[in-house]
Amino acid sequence: MSFLGAKGKEATMLMAMVGSYVVGIIVAIVAQPWSDWLGPSFSASRLALSYVVSALMYLIPGLIAMLLFAENQEWLAPPGKYTPDIEYKPFSPYILTAAAIVGAVYAVGGILTGINVDVPALITSFSATYFGPIVCFLGIFFGFFVRYAIGGAAWLATPLLIPEIAWIDAGVWSLASYIYWLLVRKLGKGASGAMRLVYFIIGLIEMVVLHVIGWIFVYAFTLNPWEAFIGYITFAFSTWYPTTIVFVLIGAVIGESVYYSRTSLMEVE
């Protein structure tokens, strides 16, 4: 069995990832959250819908992305430190330490989001390009609970959303990171400089797209009737979201530059 060029277990997991994502979109559209029948913004019905859709579109695919990433031994090694004779574990001290650091920086950076500056986007995109999906998911998921506890998510309408927001952000970046690594680290491996640049640009675009879908469609669209949804996205794109895009691009460029310099040094040695 082959799917998107993959075979066997990898193909099955990719099909499950794509299938879950598509089902999530269908569930959201069938529920018609733009209408009033689900009640006002953040009603119990909307919370339930949002939890289901976010689980299908980002929690499950994000977890699958971690599993797929773990299939590649070279990716599990610290950049520039891969040795074929060593077996690398998906939850090694290196990965767990990196996740803890990412989570801490992400949590503290969230404090500035209160003044409409999305600093966490910088650390998340850096982590996506440099560390990969496992560090992204673990660091961001647990980091959000810390972020909320220290006042970095005062914008959250209700504490009932804490777990969901944690896995939306974690899932967004786990999934975006895996796609990025497929493009740049797998397809771009051995490619010309021009093609590597093309894969990198596509990787940047998919990061922004998946982030937009996560926050505008999965979060705002399911939790608000039409008028409130329009108000939300108007506010978002006129205040904090432009900083999100800027920091995503900056973080990704820094992460890729550092990763490339470390792995290039290994090749020279």
pLDDT bracket for residue 268 (50, 70, 90): very low
- Paired residues of 6 in beta bridges: 3
Higher pLDDT, 188 or 58: 58
pLDDT digits (tens, 9 = 90+) for 136-187: 999 999 999 999 999 888 888 899 999 999 999 999 999 999 999 999 999 9
Q: What's CA 69's distance to the chain center, in Å?
A: 14
Q: Look at 57-71, 190-204, 218-232 and tell me which has the smallest mean pLDDT.
A: 190-204
pLDDT digits (tens, 9 = 90+) for 115-139: 688 999 999 999 999 999 999 999 9
Name the 3-class secondary structure at 175.
helix
Task: Find the angle CA(85)-CA(91)-CA(202) to the nearest 5 degrees.
Answer: 85
pLDDT digits (tens, 9 = 90+) for 227-253: 999 999 999 999 989 999 999 999 999
Helix (H) or strand (E) holding 212: helix 193-212
- In the chain, domain spans: 2-74+91-268
CB 66 within 8 A of CB 134: yes
CB 109 within 8 A of CB 151: no
Q: What is the pLDDT of residue 184?
A: 95
> Max CA-CA distance within the chain?
64
pLDDT, the chain, mean: 92
Q: What is the pLDDT of residue 102?
A: 97
Q: Are strands 2-3 and 6-7 parallel, antiparallel or unpaired?
A: antiparallel
- Paired residues of 171 in beta bridges: none
pTM of this prediction?
0.93
pLDDT digits (tens, 9 = 90+) for 52-71: 999 999 999 999 999 999 99
What's the rounded mean pLDDT across residues 11-30?
96
CB 122 within 8 A of CB 102: no
pLDDT bracket for residue 263 (50, 70, 90): confident
Q: What is the pLDDT of residue 114?
A: 65
